[in-house]
Amino acid sequence: MRSPGVNSNHYPPYFFHEIVLHLEIAHLLWHNNSYVQKYCKQKEDQEGDCMSVKDTRIKPYTGEKIKIHPYEHKAQYYETDQMGIIHHSNYIRWMEEARMDLMDQMGFSYKAMEEMEIISPVLSVKCEYKSMVHFRDTVVIEARMVDYNSVKMKIVYRMTDKETGELRAVAQSEHCFLSNSGKPISLKRSYPEIDTKFFTLYDEDGEEITEF
């Protein structure tokens, strides 16, 4: 009796080639992510622990922190799902909008950062949904930077209804800084003037979201 197995005659000639190609791509992605995480950890060890942020420049930043105004988003019809409420994936997009606005208020837009060949990818993101948002509701998003060490940063978000003040969601995201070639960098060492701008945002008394 013939043992069960894969009969290659049942598959088109390109089938196994595509499987190998997908495996190679997955390996490259895994390898690149492992490299970035390892390199970031080395940078953190050099710059200091992210959870105990300390300004170690020759001239520590002693200027005033800038006052950040909350970002507002009016829920759109295309953001709703079959149940008539805002689909959960849109909250992640709103976090990005609030993050871009945060940098604009800092005086160093994401566009300006990319023009300097600096990128800031997402390392992790969390979001907990507290109540529903409906079409045409206006959501107020307070974004605060609660951790920063020139290599990585953490931002927390609190989303509330503009009219009622009801809590809609709490979230946080972590980011690192890379060159256009994908190599992790330290803003303190490579771009000290930009590092100073980020310190105007850093909320040393800020706390991480505890609602998770």
Q: Is 81 a catalytic residue?
A: yes
Measured in degrees and rounded to the nearest 5, phi and psi for residue 136 equal 75, 0
Q: Which of 45, 49, 55, 81 is catalytic?
A: 81
Rounded Cα–Cα distance for residues 208 and 81 (Å): 30
Beta strand extents in the chain (DSSP E only)? 71-74, 118-119, 122-129, 138-148, 152-161, 167-176, 178-179
Beta strand extents in 26-149 (DSSP E only)? 71-74, 118-119, 122-129, 138-148
Rounded Cα–Cα distance for residues 169 and 40 (Å): 29
Burial of 153 (0-12, 13-18, 19+ CB in 10 A): buried
Enzyme catalytic residues? 81
